[in-house]
């Protein structure tokens, strides 16, 4: 079995959204080698743009629905 990609380290509570400072659930790896972090809210908001510039999007927003943590979600 060959591992092609090195798994990115999981996002932690120390990883913060670049836009609002909330806990990050998405890591966006850019073609330039840079990284952007977004909370679930901003990850969704910028997803169409991010998909144009990202070479990889690590999406951990699924943890929001499984951990029952208080999400900073504005969809109530
Ligand atoms: Zn945010």
Please spell the DSSP secondary structure of 17-69, one letter per residue: -TTT-SBP-EEEEETTS-EEEE-HHHHHHHHHHHHHHEEEEEE-THHHHHH--
Residue 63: pLDDT band with limits 50, 70, 90: confident
Alpha carbons 47 and 63: distance in angstroms, whole number? 18
Going by C-beta distance under 8 Å and a sequence separation of 6 or more, which residues neighbour residue 35? Answer: 27, 28, 29
Give the residue-averaged pLDDT of 35-57.
Answer: 95
pLDDT for residue 4: 53
Q: Distance, CA 1 to ligand 1 centroid (Å)?
A: 37
Judge whether residue 1 has pLDDT over 80.
no
Percent of the chain exceeding pLDDT 70 equals 75
Residue 5: pLDDT band with limits 50, 70, 90: low
Q: Distance, CA 17 to ligand 1 centroid (Å)?
A: 5
pTM attached to this predicted model: 0.73
Q: Which two tokens stand for residue 43?
A: 């990850």
Q: Distance, CA 23 to ligand 1 centroid (Å)?
A: 8
Please state the domain extents for the chain.
Answer: 11-62
Give the residue-averaged pLDDT of 48-65.
Answer: 92
Residues with CB under 5 A from ligand 1 (ion): 17, 19-20, 22, 39, 42
Alpha carbons 34 and 66: distance in angstroms, whole number? 29
């Amino acid at each position: 079995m060959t591992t092609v990609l090195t798994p990115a380290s999981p996002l932690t509570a120390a990883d913060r959204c670049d836009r609002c400072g909330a806990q990050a659930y998405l890591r966006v790896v850019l073609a330039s080698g840079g990284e952007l972090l977004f909370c679930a809210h901003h990850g969704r908001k910028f997803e169409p743009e991010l998909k144009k510039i990202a070479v990889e999007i690590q999406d951990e927003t699924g943890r929001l629905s499984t951990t029952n943590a208080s999400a900073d979600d504005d969809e109530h």
